[in-house]
Amino acid sequence: MRIKAEIFMIPIGISLSFMFLLFTTASAQPPIYMYNFCENSTLLSSSYKDNVETLLSWITTDSFKSNGYNFTTVNSNNNNNDDAVYGLYSCRYDITGYFCQFCITTAASELSRRCPNAVRAIIWYDVCIIRYSNQSFIGNVTLTPTWNITGPRIIKHSSESRKAEESVQSLIWKATVETKKFWAVDEFDWVDNEKRYGWVQCDRDIKSDECSECLHTLLDIFPECCSTHAQWAVFGPSCGIRMDDEKFYQTSGDGGSSKSRKFIISFSVLGSVALLCFGVYCFWYRKRVRRDKMMFDEETLNGDLPTIPLIAVLHSTNNFSEESKLGEGGFGPVYKGILPDGRQIAVKRLSKFSGQGTQEFKNEVMFIAKLQHRNLVRLLGCCLEENENILVYEYMCNASLDSHLFGGDEKRKQLDWKLRLSIINGIAKGILYLHEDSRLKVIHRDLKGSNVLLDYEMNPKISDFGLARAFEIGQNQANTKRVVGTYGYMAPEYVMQGLFSVKSDVFSFGVLVLEIIYGRKNNGLYMSEHGQTLLLYAWRTWGAGKCLETIDPMLEKSFLRSEVERCIHIGLLCVQEDAKDRPTMSQVVLMLASDTMILPKPKHPAFSIGIMASEEVYTSKSFKNVSNNDLTVSVSLPR
């Protein structure tokens, strides 16, 4: 078969474009668009357009199963094949797994956007290519169109041009004769003790001699476009060549962060002694953080939690797009994503400006990785690449409990009494597991409505373990100089003295129970007299025998009087001021399960003077449609 000799030269913007290509390695960063070709037609049939969309969808799906290359034909099964679409995708040989899949998925989406009316189209990214046509090209070599790109660095000696040609010639021989793998990379010694790095690659469905002729045809372009440049590349639909003075490909044993280290080293030697010292300090600090992170990777995770590649997270969230964003809390933004297997996930990304920081991130990973219960949110994995701290959870389609309780009348109507009682029981069982039944004795320290998520069946799942603490065997109480938590849910002994125990969580649970029944926030309840809190209000109406008169009106006739009164009673027992008077969670679960168990009379609730009446001023960014009652505070106590 003869190769078409027609060449359509397309120069590209030199310096800026090549800088993008230069810094593209196999590290977990988004793929970089390079160039596209669209042969448009006004005569496209609707069936042909449909087949193009089907092809691009197939390419995206198939890239998750293949080794980075495949082709197919899509038609409408008619006898004429007049709407058949022939398509192919290919990744650079050293780019595998999620890196390849992410590039192909991104390229397919971009090709559909850029060439909506094309009868033939090609798109090149830095590490992958997609092409389709109405004419079969599989097994044939195509050199139209071709394009080239050059970097800003100019060669020092004219002899380098000839040396570059000879180096590429050796790569072509290696790819087509020596190995017959249709690709080759190599490192070359250069003038002035420099190095050059070369790459050649062909489609995998052509013959060796055809690959050689394709690459030689591209190499013939080199003297016209690129001979004075140290960094250059020439691409066609069926093959490509690239030469660079920086290593841009991956071989076995390569470290993913070599360029970033070089950057920091070079930065540290700039200018004056002051900048030098500062650079050395930054480098030392970065190394220490990396070492600490490696220790965290190996020791804290200890096989309990899978690590998920950053490239997979980027792909699932469309590169952390605004459209994927669910909301933002103290930890950082939260995104919705979809894994290749179709599972929906919630991705929590630690903000670099987060007040909670990496310690809370480590807490979250350490605890949830070791805790498994139907009423705890499930952590699927984490990602620690590229200085990112990311947690990946199962997605809770019904958002948080407080988004329903305080999201308006229509939201509250969805929560009839049967469902609210089920949520109360589920939360109680989840806390009991943390306190008594798990591998660790865990105090959550931040139980509130926004940290209780609801799955598709409205089952409650406790989340956000960033402030959690584990107790040793026999330990019942601890204290801290730094009080962290949320106003309205923190027990009095914790707020005033920094003391926390299982009874601190019991207090928070009691607040939640009362909020669920009354449909009102503990922090934001304004009564006509004294500005009393929900706790005091519930205690007074319960004592007066009028508690049912002021419960959430959305419950209407869906509740049983005895059940509601018993739950209010249990909630009031949990929020008593003295921790010793509060029940344990095992006792709470028994109380909820038994209609005959006699309950003690609750004493005054904590903060019964109404000091929280003006707390509405405390608000923070939170998830969409949730209450503003979720400010996590930090208080330093005197010692």
Identify which of 71, 69, 123, 67 has the alpha carbon closest to the alpha carbon of residue 96.
67
Query: Do 388 and 468 share a structural domain?
Result: no
Give the residue from 6, 1, 2, 36 showing the smallest Cα distance to 220.
6
Any domain includes 342: yes
Residue 444 has pLDDT above 50, yes or no: yes
What's the rounded mean pLDDT across residues 394-398?
A: 93
Peptide bond connecting 145 to the previous residue in cis, omega within 30 degrees of 0: yes
The percent of residues above 90 in pLDDT, for the chain, comes to: 49
Last residue of a domain, one of 345, 362, 395: 395
pLDDT greater than 50 at residue 8: no
pLDDT for the residue 43: 86
CA distance 371 to 369: 6
Q: How much is the pLDDT for 486? A: 84
| Residue 251 within any structural domain of the chain | no
pTM for the predicted model, two decimal places: 0.58
The more confidently predicted of residues 634 and 452 is 452
| C-beta of residue 188 within 8 angstroms of C-beta of residue 167 | yes
Residue-level pLDDT at 221: 95
537 and 448 inside one domain: yes
Q: What is the mean pLDDT of residues 96-124?
A: 90
Q: Is the pLDDT of residue 41 over 70?
A: yes
Rounded to an integer, the average pLDDT of 422-451 is 93
What tokens were used for 575? 């929020």
pLDDT above 70: percentage of residues in the chain: 78
**Has residue 542 got a pLDDT over 80?**
yes
Q: 235 phi and psi, to 5 degrees?
A: -130, 145
Whether the pLDDT of residue 342 is over 90: the answer is no
Average pLDDT over residues 621-625: 36
Does the pLDDT value for residue 13 go beyond 80?
no
Residues 336 and 424 in one domain: no
Q: Which helix (H) or strand (E) holds 172?
A: helix 159-173
Higher-confidence residue of 30 and 155: namely 155
Do 211 and 359 lie in one domain? The reply is no
State mean pLDDT over 316-342: 84
Classify strands 118-125 and 183-189 as parallel, antiparallel or unpaired. unpaired
Tens digit of each residue's pLDDT (9 = 90 or more) over 214-263: 999 999 999 999 999 999 999 999 999 999 998 888 775 454 444 444 43
Q: Which of 362, 395, 428 is the last residue of a domain?
A: 395
User: Based on the domain organization, do 275 and 377 belong to the same domain?
Assistant: no
Same domain assignment for residues 173 and 269: no
Is 419 found in the same domain as 316? Answer: no
pLDDT tier, 625 (very low <50, low <70, confident <90, very high otherwise): very low
Written as one letter, the residue type at 527 is: M
365 and 355 within one domain = yes
Domain membership flag for residue 564: yes
The whole-number average pLDDT for the span 330-348 is: 83
Burial classification of residue 416, based on how many CB atoms lie within 10 Å of its CB (0-12 exposed, 13-18 middle, 19 or more buried): middle
Of 629, 600, 594, the closest CA to residue 615 belongs to 629
Distance between CA atoms of 363 and 468, rounded to whole angstroms? Answer: 7
- Average pLDDT rounded to a whole number, residues 358-376: 79
Average pLDDT over residues 132-145: 92
Is residue 55 scored above 60 in pLDDT? yes
Q: The domain containing residue 286 runs over which residues?
A: 260-292
Please compute the mean of the pLDDT values over residues 630-637 and round it to a whole number. Answer: 42
**Bridge partners for 623 per DSSP:** 327
Confidence of residue 479 (pLDDT cuts 50, 70, 90): confident
DSSP letter assigned to residue 547? G
CATH number of the domain to which 598 belongs: 1.10.510.10
- Tell me the C-alpha distance between 260 and 283, whole Å: 11
User: When comparing pLDDT for 124 and 365, which is higher?
Assistant: 124
476/606 same-domain check: yes
Same domain, 329 and 286: no
| Single-letter amino acid code for the residue at 41 | S
pLDDT for residue 619:
29
What's the pLDDT at 330?
Answer: 66
- Report yes or no on 26 lying in a domain: no
- 547 found inside a domain: yes
Q: Which has the higher per-residue pLDDT, 484 or 69?
A: 69
Residue 33 CB partners (closer than 8 Å, separation 6+): 107, 110, 123, 125
Contacts of residue 338, defined as CB under 8 A and 6 or more positions apart, other chains included, come to 316, 344, 345
Helix boundaries (H) for 63-96: none
Inform me whether the pLDDT recorded for 270 exceeds 80: no
Per-residue pLDDT, 409: 87
Q: Pick the last residue of a domain from 85, 103, 138.
A: 138
518 neighbors 538 (Cβ within 8 angstroms): yes
Residue 180: pLDDT band (50, 70, 90) is very high
For residues 73 and 365, which has the higher predicted lDDT (pLDDT)? Answer: 73
Quote the tokens at residue 118.
């094309």
- Mean pLDDT (the chain, rounded): 81
Exposed e or buried b for every residue in 309-320, given b needs 16+ CB within 10 A? bbbbbbbbbbeb
Instruction: State the pLDDT at residue 399.
Output: 92
Confidence of residue 586 (pLDDT cuts 50, 70, 90): very high
Which residues does 252 contact at the CB level (< 8 Å), separation at least 6?
Answer: none
Hey, how many other C-beta atoms are within 10 angstroms of the C-beta on 30? 16
pLDDT at residue number 380: 85
Residue with tokens 């909670």: 356
Same domain, yes or no: 287 and 314: no
Q: Count the neighbouring beta carbons within 10 Å of the beta carbon of residue 303.
A: 7
**367, 453 Cβ separation under 8 angstroms:** no
Please give the pLDDT value at position 281: 52
Q: Are strands 469-471 and 441-443 parallel, antiparallel or unpaired?
A: antiparallel
Same domain, 436 and 566: yes
Q: How confident is the model at residue 142 (pLDDT cuts 50, 70, 90)?
A: very high
The two three-digit tokens of residue 375, written as one number: 């009423």
CB 329 within 8 A of CB 377: no
How far apart CA 189 and CA 260 sit, in angstroms, is 23
Question: Is 147 a residue whose pLDDT tops 70?
Answer: yes
pLDDT at 80: 65
Residue 255 lies in a domain: no
**Domain CATH number, residue 207:** 3.30.430.20
Q: What is the pLDDT of residue 5?
A: 35
> What average pLDDT does the segment 528-543 reach?
78
Which are the catalytic amino acids?
A: 446
Residue 505 binned pLDDT confidence (cut-offs 50, 70, 90): very high
Residue 54 lies in a domain: yes
Please give the full DSSP string across 577-626, using - where no structure is assigned.
SSGGGSPPHHHHHHHHH-SSPPPPPP-PBTTTT-TTTTGGG-----BTT-
Q: State how many domains the chain has.
A: 5
Question: For residues 374-408, b (16+ Cβ closer than 10 Å) or e, as one string?
Answer: ebbbebbbbbbbeeebbbbbbbbebbbbbbbbbbe
* pLDDT (average), residues 87-101: 88
More confident: 253 or 151: 151
d(CA 340, CA 326): 20
Burial status of residue 65 (CB atoms within 10 A of its CB: 0-12, 13-18, 19 or more): exposed
**What pLDDT is recorded for position 339?**
77
CA-CA distance, 546 to 544, in Å (whole number)?
5
Domain assignment present for residue 18? The answer is: no
CATH number at residue 332: 3.30.200.20
